[in-house]
Amino acid sequence: MPDHRIRLRGGWESIESDAEQQVPSPVSLPLRGPTDRPRKLRLTRRFGRPRLDLRRESLRLSLGSVPGLRSARLNGQPLILAGPAAGSHEIPIEPAERNELVLEAEIPAAGADGPPWGEIALLVRTVTDA
C-alpha cells in the first residue's frame, strides 16, 4: 500500500537570520520566486499527531527539495540529516500530541525559473510483516 502523504504547506513562520529585526512572518512552502542572494531562514511549523495504528503504521518526516538545510529539530530534539548538500531526507519520527518542527536553512539564490524550496510532508507508512 502506498504512503499516505500529509503535506505541511501552510502555517509556517519564517525568520530571516540575517535581518536586523528578526520578526516572524507567515509563509507557505514550497518557497517560490527569484532571490538575488542566499537567504538564512529559521522556519517553524506546529502540527498535531496524525491518527496511527501503531501495530500497522509508522510515521516518517519527508524533507524534499531542501538544498542548504542545516538542521531540523522536532520538539527541541535534533533530527539526523544526511548532510547540508543533500536535497532530500526521510526520517522516522515519533511525534507527541502537539509538535513543533524547526528547520534552519541557507536557501541558495535562484533565478525566476529556479526550483521551489521545501516540499515538507508527514508520511504514514504501512508496516509490512517480515
Q: Which CATH superfamily is domain 4-126 in?
A: Galactose-binding domain-like (2.60.120.260)
pLDDT in tens, 92-104: 999 999 999 999 9
Can you give the residue ranges of every domain in the chain? Answer: 4-126
Residue 6's Cβ-count burial label (10 Å; 0-12, 13-18, 19+) is middle
**21: which 3 cell numbers?**
529585526
Q: What pLDDT digit, counting tens, does each position of 20-41 carry?
A: 778 899 999 999 877 778 889 9
Length of the chain equals 130
Distance CA 10, CA 29 (A): 6
| For residue 10, pLDDT beyond 60 | yes
Measured distance CA(130)–CA(125) in Å, rounded:
15
